[in-house]
Structure 1
């Protein structure tokens, strides 16, 4: 689905831009050249995360239950596969981030540089529990990886519950499909109306399931065979989103709603398979690796620029452009060597050991 690759590529570029406008000493100087652009990126670039959440939900629905019925026989194996797919490049990027932070710490006195990690902190990151356990993040955006995994497990649990209820109540297959959709819809409404309005829950999937659930619903809506059913479902999705925004306006939810509606329409009209500009397609395919690896690149370039040259506006801007270019190159390598490789226990354990070893280097 090339359109999804394009959306992921553009959204990832915005997220990287958001981090480049916020972290390290370079944006403070470079922002003098285009203050409104840097201010917008710093304040609103994070909204692109909602695009990733909606697309993740869209793909999860297509993978787990494209027709509203659970399509996997071994749910625990699927959970492991999802964990491995997320964590393999994540562990590799974290290892680079830990080493980069150790290298720049003597040169770069900036709050963006993480402190030397402890063993428990490293293990918590490897298990995607760092936010729930209250540890400082070792890299920018690592919270998303933990949330993505939680959301996948929650979606799988909701669809699995519909299967159990279907067997208990001996429902007809067509009704069981609607049951799964109804459970996801109710969970999304609960998230939009209650959980997403409680900042204390932003370390949990409940806070973000509104956007993720909109993506799942968009997938099922796009597959509706009857035009009347499609129109009714779209109207229902609009009403749910509008009610959530009327209750409490949140730009992140508005972004998620628009993204979900566009995906439903694109799938309905077959636009997801249309071709696109090849560089954008490539950027979309490596977007997850880019999301993971750009922060250590930012630390290294920021330290080099700050140490080797006076940090003026043009020097800082050139440094940020260099960060973006090197991040894409590093992401291409991370994608080729790690993300695109099959998930296996030996690879996972080796990458986990590499993270611990990199942490041990910083203790010496």
Structure 2
């Protein structure tokens, strides 16, 4: 449900922020468009916290030093790249084509310049942000950051395993993560110059990891309380230093995951079926919605009246088209491409990417 809701807000945020349809709708609904174009972007914190939660589940489910079921951090990093990159590369190529088509019909600052080989190569390596290349699609930065965060986590867990050796240092990893959360929130996250690097976002990611370990039903009450203090105290200090709504939201999501993140209850009904489906395709929607929205923008500002009502209909059309395209991309690109790449890499195929 968290992933499904956050994905919708991200789509609507980009529709409102990039325009040009939203430029014509803004006079009719100024408060809504302004909120979607600005505040709704913090929904990405949901994905950051969930990413940390699932990384802890995958790499260190018990919170112990070392990597779970991985011979080396390079193996874990390679596995993550294989999951993230192939559908991202496919979506990037679609975005480059969409930008080219849009630029032939209209002029707007949401359209990127023609893609270069270096730019496409940097995207394929998930290094476009750190190398200073313009993103070809809204949200492309997140995929690169998710990969950085996972790689940083794998290296930290492996290092902790080397330090611990055969000693049962059960609190070494949670303490390391809590220290990383504090350093991120109290220093890196206050400097926008770090926003192309993992430390800027590790505060939210680390909260998700701590939430996974705190929600372990095998832990005694005292250990759970200690973990929750490790989770809450750095956030409290960070918000006291400088209030940030995005960090407040990250803490709220971590608390929700702590309370019910391992709940195995299956909720039935059409509404929950739809929510589960939206959650499964959230990564595909995240990848494909910008080129779809760009093409719908182009169509409506070129051939439809520029009246706010017509352009509002265009925004709704772009939202719906993004969901349909996301479902199609998930079924016919993300999953088959993942199986092919996993097979070539000699790994067992995975069902989908949890982002």
1:253 Cα offset (Å): 0.8
Query: Which string of whole-angstrom CA distances, capped at 9 and with x for unpartnered residues, describes residues 283-326 of structure 1?
Result: 11000110110111111111111111221111101111111111
Partners in 2 of 1:347 and 1:19 — Cα distance? Answer: 35
1:236 Cα offset (Å): 3.5
How many residue pairs end up in the alignment?
A: 337
**Structure (1/2) with the larger helix percentage:** 1
Give the structure, 1 or 2, with the largest relative contact order (CA under 8 Å, sep 6 or more). Answer: 1
Q: Do residues 334 (structure 1) and 326 (structure 2) align?
A: no
Corresponding residue number in structure 1 for 2:70: 73
Corresponding residue number in structure 1 for 2:310: 315
Q: Do residues 265 (structure 1) and 265 (structure 2) align?
A: no
User: Which one of 208, 215, 221 corresponds to residue 222 of structure 1?
Assistant: 215
User: Which one of 102, 105, 108 corresponds to residue 100 of structure 2?
Assistant: 102
- Is the 1:85–1:339 Cα contact (8 Å) retained in structure 2? no
Determine helix, strand or coil for the equivalent of 1:74.
coil
User: Which one of 287, 294, 299 corresponds to residue 292 of structure 1?
Assistant: 287
TM-score in terms of structure 1 length: 0.89
1:184 Cα offset (Å): 1.3
Partners in 2 of 1:49 and 1:204 — Cα distance? Answer: 16
Determine helix, strand or coil for the equivalent of 1:22.
helix
Partners in 2 of 1:41 and 1:24 — Cα distance? Answer: 12
Determine helix, strand or coil for the equivalent of 2:91.
helix
Partners in 1 of 2:120 and 2:287 — Cα distance? Answer: 16
- Is the 2:53–2:212 Cα contact (8 Å) retained in structure 1? yes
User: Which one of 6, 25, 28 corresponds to residue 11 of structure 1?
Assistant: 6
5+ long unaligned stretches in structure 2: 346-355
Partners in 2 of 1:344 and 1:126 — Cα distance? Answer: 17
Partners in 1 of 2:104 and 2:333 — Cα distance? Answer: 30
Q: Do residues 120 (structure 1) and 114 (structure 2) align?
A: no
- Is the 1:84–1:343 Cα contact (8 Å) retained in structure 2? no
Partners in 1 of 2:62 and 2:224 — Cα distance? Answer: 14
1:274 Cα offset (Å): 4.1
Corresponding residue number in structure 1 for 2:131: 133
Q: Do residues 36 (structure 1) and 31 (structure 2) align?
A: yes
Partners in 1 of 2:344 and 2:204 — Cα distance? Answer: 29
Q: CA RMSD in A?
A: 1.8
Determine helix, strand or coil for the equivalent of 1:136.
coil
User: Which one of 148, 167, 174 corresponds to residue 171 of structure 1?
Assistant: 167
